[in-house]
Structure 1
Amino acid sequence: MSEVTFNKGKIPETRLPNEDPSFEQKMKDLRDNESDDKRSMLLSLASKNPESIAIWCVLGLSSTERMESYAYFRVAYHRGLDSLRKNGWRGSGFVRWDHESNRYFLFALNQLAVISREIGDYAEAERCSLFLRQLEPSWDQLQIVSL
């Protein structure tokens, strides 16, 4: 289990657990792979660890189809919510970028906002943007464009 930090008079902060190191290395190796079967190899890896937020983000980044990327980031976001709840988050509190284990989830949420705006789903884009800034109030200063 990860940790939820409570400080007297302050908002709680949740840290997601780290990805399994060997799984993360396989994923990073595939992410840098430029072979024709990269997508099928990533999907195979996802089938071995469907709870991974990271693998769905990598699939989203690797896709050349906007709606396919959207779908992968949507899965990453929902896997992230599941993991947050499993690790003590109760619907409010910070999920900070400072903690490396939170980055895939926050990135997925940002990508959902970006793609939603691109496809004209402005209500979803606004909801995702607002939620992201509630979880990580420093998001705009971080200027994250990729993982």
Structure 2
Amino acid sequence: MTSFGDLLGPQPVLLPELPDVEDALADNQDPVQVAAAHPTASLAWAQLAEDALDRATAAGTDLDGASPIGHDVIAAYAFARTGYHRGLDLLRRNGWKGFGPVPWSHEPNRGFLRAVGALARAARAIGESDEYARCLDLLEDCDPRAAAELGLD
């Protein structure tokens, strides 16, 4: 049985640790430089996306899709999409078939999940409601707790 209670479902994917990336970000190194040094790391792209969304919010942008869109929201969308795609590549290399558990509780999975969450927020901000819904569905499929952990509940 998988950790999510599905007797017939795939086993959870547990991505490998990326200690160089995790340590660099924990040491407050510039995420731009971390992403440049580790372009396949979803965690670095997720950090860039979240930072851009935070800047947009601090500048008064309401991310509900009603506010005028600035550079930071578009940058967040691009960063998050890059992290999402890099995460899909890594998930597939680690046995994921396009569905099934990617547990939030396994910290190395969080870079991908955070990128999906940031993509959802940025998609909603630019009025891309179908993409927002797809991201929420993906998070639900990966781990039913993920959206709440990312403040998307």
Identity %: 34
Which aligned pairs between 1:26-45 and structure 2 lie closer than 5 A?
26-30=24-28, 41-45=30-34
| Whole-Å separation in 2 of the counterparts to 1:111 and 1:132 | 11
Aligned to 1:111: 118
Offset of residue 94 of structure 1? 0.6
The more displaced of 59-68 and 98-107 is: 59-68
Shift of 1:17: 0.9
Q: Distance in 2 between matches of 1:76 and 1:116?
A: 14
Letter in 1 for 2:150: I
- Write the distance in 2 (CA, Å) between the matches of 1:8 and 1:114: 29
- CA separation in 1, counterparts of 2:131 and 2:6? 34
Equivalent residue number for residue 96 of structure 1: 103
Residue 67 in structure 1 maps to residue 66 in structure 2: no
Q: CA separation in 2, counterparts of 1:132 and 1:44?
A: 28
Residue 15 of structure 1 corresponds to 14
Give the match for residue 66 of structure 2: none
Q: Could you say if the C-alpha distance between residues 139 and 49 of structure 1 is closer, same or farther in structure 2, counting changes exceeding 3 Å? A: closer
Aligned to 1:130: 137
Q: 2:22 aligns with which of 21, 24, 28?
A: 24
Counterpart code for 1:120: G
RMSD between aligned residues: 2.4
What is residue 145 of structure 1 aligned with on the other side?
151
> Aligned pair count?
131
Q: Which amino acid aligns with 2:7?
A: G
Aligned partner letter, 1:132: L
Quote how far apart the aligned CAs of 1:88 are.
0.7
For residue 116 of structure 1, what is the amino acid of its counterpart?
Answer: A
Q: Counterpart of 2:13 in 1: which secondary structure?
A: strand
Deviation at residue 68 of structure 1 after TM alignment:
0.6
Unaligned runs of 5+ in 2: 56-71
TM-score by length of 1: 0.78
Length-normalised TM-score, structure 2: 0.75
Shift of 1:24: 1.9
Q: C-alpha offsets along residues 88-137 of structure 1, whole Å, 9 cap, x if unaligned?
A: 11112111101111111111111211221121101111111111111112
What is the distance in 1 between the residues matched to 2:118 and 2:36?
22
Q: Which ranges of structure 1 fall in alignment gaps of 5 or more residues? A: 32-40
Structure 1 counterpart of 2:83: 76
In structure 2, the residue matched to 1:52 is: 41
